[in-house]
Amino acid sequence: MNKEQANKPAHWHAVNAEAVVDHLKSQPQGLGDDEARRRLEQHGPNRLSEQKRRGPLQRFLAQFHNVLIYILLVAAVMTGLLEQWIDTGVILAVVLINAIIGFIQEGKAEKALQAISAMMSQKATVRRNGQEQAIPAEQLVPGDVVLLTSGDKVPADIRLTRVRDLTSNEAALTGESVASEKGTDPVDEQAVPADRVGMAFSGTLVNSGRGEGIVVATGDDTEIGRIQEMVAETEQIATPLMQQVTRFGRYLSVAIILLAAALVLFGVFVRGYAWVEMFLAAVSVAVAAIPQGLPAIMTVTLAIGVRRMAARNAFIRRLPAVDTLGAVTVICSDKTGTLTRNEMMVQSLYSGDRTYEISGAGYKPEGQLTLNDEKINPEDHPALLETLRAGLLCNEADVAQDDQGRWQPRGDAMEAALIVAAMKAGMNKHDEQEQLPEIDAIPFESENQFMATLHKQNTRSLIYIKGAPEKILEMCERQRNAEGDDEPLEAEPWEQRAEELASRGQRLLAIAMKPANGERKLDFQAVQQGAVMLGLCGLIDPPRQEAIDAVHRCHEAGIRSKMVTGDHASTAKAIGLQLGIGDGETAMTGRELESLSDQELARSTPDVDVYARVSPEHKLRLVESIQTGGHIVAMTGDGVNDAPALKRANVGVAMGIKGTDVSREASEMVLADDNFASIAHAVEEGRTVYDNLRKAIVFILPTNGGEAMTIVAAIAMGAALPITPVQILWVNMITAVTLALSLAFEPTEQNVMQRPPRDPHAALLTPVLAWRVVFVSLIMCAGTFGLFLWMQRIVEADVDTAQTVAVNTLVLFEAFYLLDVRHIDQSVLKPDLLTGNRYVLPAIGLVVLFQLIFTYVPFMHRAFGTAPLEATTWLYIVPVTASVFVLVELEKWLMRLQRRRPGEAAEESAGAVR
């Protein structure tokens, strides 16, 4: 039997257990040692393969593969040629820091695959040669008989052949919040992993009971192995910002090269300059045009966004994700714990032909019981009271407060919810157990679909029963009415109410009782006859109120919210309706999704917001389909099954509380509180970060444009250079670390969540912003070159003094322009002009201090070729540079006036990109 044969049939869950045993040539006493060794040699160890990864050197060098980095390296070479070694060192330091940050972040990403491998079990209990023995899990082979008990980590994919009360916690693999009840019957071949009751999957945990089964897949052939392969093969999408920056860098590089070449040709052939002289002039233009401070400003702005998000429970693991959040157009969210509280509670209770509602949240025993929206006293409703008592006593769970005073369940969540409901009616489990002590029980088994307990008090004894409504109805002959009397059972009203509660997304438990005749042991067959129907409990994991509000905020911001869950479709639709996701009628199941072609799925995604019973492949395919429509997708998840989709999504969002290491390592962001509302907060911060990045770019580029235009104008007119390359580097450096940096701290615009998401495919600079850059560059060029010529020809100052005036003019132009940039298209003439950002005034003060040192400290004269200025010279500089503030505000006013004209399309508000 070769490996290919061992892996057939592919759908082990759809084949009966006997056929699996025959196919794998196994037997009840297990494999013999010789056969096990032979199969181990054939199939290899039961562990996940090491994925091929790039070495540290390759990963480090890859960080330099970026157009902006190339531009910076060119700048470093140019400054080196000019023997400005300090400036060369500063530029190379910026490049190196960026590379180190990227290297560290990429190393963290690769831990996702290691985290999956760590989920594999380390040991297994098998039967070989008829003897039970513990062996390393790596030695398991297809055909081995494995024994499972409560608390075990499943060591391989196993087709179950025997079970007793076996439940498995598969939330990390399937997304199903409730423990999966296991059986041995085959299921449909197309069933998703959550519905494969006859399978136990590698890496999941046995919650309760015992089981036995045949190993059908090991290592890479397991369900978890398939997921690792999907994670390894899934391509990570470049962030919208980096795509925009890359495009911008290419255009900028071409423009700089063409400008430098044209300048050299013009100088040599038109003006008659020497080749060497024109080469140095071209270097000056290139240095002037390169925004050396931009990568550093981007990094700092993103880092500030990370800090702001952390304060709102969203921790960013990869820096560029900060900006990507601001471009998100679709959020695909898990249901349990993210949109809901992950705390079961009894919300409705039908008894005595009346439907009661129970308020409260989670396991805290505080809430009201109401009938027709009016608070009731449970003592006045005997049928209700007896139903709650039965749920309290026919129960193996408990609730208690932890060290922090939080109420937590012990045992099954649904049973704990029944206890809390009884406590809200004033009952105490300890007191009730004292009055009606339990003397025997039939534990719940999935095959039986019910649990029963026998209670005795003096001469009185009775049986309480709970389980699936359809099973309990079969066991009942009578029902308890509202007055507490028994009457013949009418099944139809119970069935109708069960259907109604299920349509509201509630899980159902029926509760009954049966008088006993003094027996001290329960008879399995006798319990199933002659019972009295007491009530029907509707349980739900309720939506978070803050999640409902957050979904509404996202809708206002033009962001579509989709629920993607492993839960059943009826539950998902009902919860979605309460949250404002979907219409409560439409949901697509994983099986339906699987039947669609890629084109059909892409056409359906705009119309479907609720997806239920989905597998890892379904989630990954859904994310890819939404992305093909041009959307930026954020995907939440907490389990191993979510890892491929988390990695593929533009922003993977993992849960910090109940999430697995695998999901966290595959994600860009981790929610400290597992709350959907934190995603909405993060989107708001992401939009703010992008706004501030654009403000910084629109601020930095005119400086470079003004410097380059000034040099070009000087060469065209045959004048001396108004500013030297080293002076250019000084201007760029000190304005970047002071003025431009202050824009990273700009507060959130008031309308940031009332505008649609930006187009991720749009250029970094819209036509309006490109015009702004050119307009301000022209102002700076005219003022700087004009004052330079004024000083030389009218004042008759020497070149050093004239150049010092030019440098100070450029810097003060930027100081005044900084105030304009705080609002890109709105007027800044508001009360918060100087106070809205507490870093603006200190930044301006600091740059003025630097310029005074630059102008009047002697060693700066030697380093930069400058000269001290007379006090009266500032009377020329300040009015000229203040003109940029007035002219830009006037330009904004004219632009706003133009947009108000009938028939003209309106630009989006500050920070938005069409």
Q: Which residues are catalytic?
A: 334
- Do residues 508 and 346 make contact, with C-beta atoms less than 8 angstroms apart? no
**Cα(703)–Cα(847) distance, integer angstroms:** 15
**Cα(910)–Cα(892) distance, integer angstroms:** 12
**Cα(759)–Cα(630) distance, integer angstroms:** 9
Nearest CA to 821 out of 895, 887, 743, 762 is that of 743
**Cα(200)–Cα(157) distance, integer angstroms:** 6
- Do residues 613 and 545 make contact, with C-beta atoms less than 8 angstroms apart? no
Amino acid found at 511: I
- Do residues 325 and 651 make contact, with C-beta atoms less than 8 angstroms apart? yes
* DSSP class per residue in 168-217: EE-HHHH--SSPEEP-S----TT--GGG-TTEE-TT-EEEEEEEEEEEEE
**Helix, strand, coil % in the chain, rounded to nearest 5:** 50, 15, 30
**Cα(698)–Cα(769) distance, integer angstroms:** 7
Tell me how crowded residue 686 is: count the other CB atoms within 10 A of its CB.
29
**Cα(891)–Cα(741) distance, integer angstroms:** 25
Nearest CA to 469 out of 551, 536, 397 is that of 536
Nearest CA to 558 out of 902, 314, 913, 316 is that of 913
The three-class DSSP label of residue 654 is strand
Q: State which H helix or E strand residue 412 sits in.
A: none
Measure the CA dihedral 251/815/851/736, to 10°. Answer: -40
**Cα(449)–Cα(473) distance, integer angstroms:** 12
**Cα(129)–Cα(33) distance, integer angstroms:** 7
HEC string for 579-636: HCCCCCCCCEEHHHHHHCCHHHHHHHHHHCCEEECCCHHHHHHHHHHHHHCCCCEEEE
Helix axes 294-310, 676-717, angle to 10 degrees: 160
Which residues is 401 bridged to in the sheet?
407
Residue 253: partners with Cβ closer than 8 Å, 6 or more residues away? 67, 70, 71
**Cα(510)–Cα(489) distance, integer angstroms:** 14
**Cα(794)–Cα(807) distance, integer angstroms:** 18
- Do residues 402 and 371 make contact, with C-beta atoms less than 8 angstroms apart? no
Residue with token string 């509000």: 549
HEC string for 811-863: HHHHHHHHHHHCCCCCCCCCCCCCCCCCCHHHHHHHHHHHHHHHHHCHHHHHH
- Do residues 283 and 725 make contact, with C-beta atoms less than 8 angstroms apart? yes
Q: Which two tokens stand for residue 743?
A: 């824009």
Q: Which two tokens stand for residue 341?
A: 């509280």
- Do residues 223 and 201 make contact, with C-beta atoms less than 8 angstroms apart? yes
The answer, yes or no, to whether the previous bond of 722 is cis (omega within 30 of 0) is no
Nearest CA to 626 out of 638, 618, 616 is that of 618
Between the alpha carbon of residue 99 and those of residues 199, 382, 651, 666, the distances in Å are 46, 72, 22, 21
Q: Which two tokens stand for residue 74?
A: 């060119």
Residue 499: partners with Cβ closer than 8 Å, 6 or more residues away? none
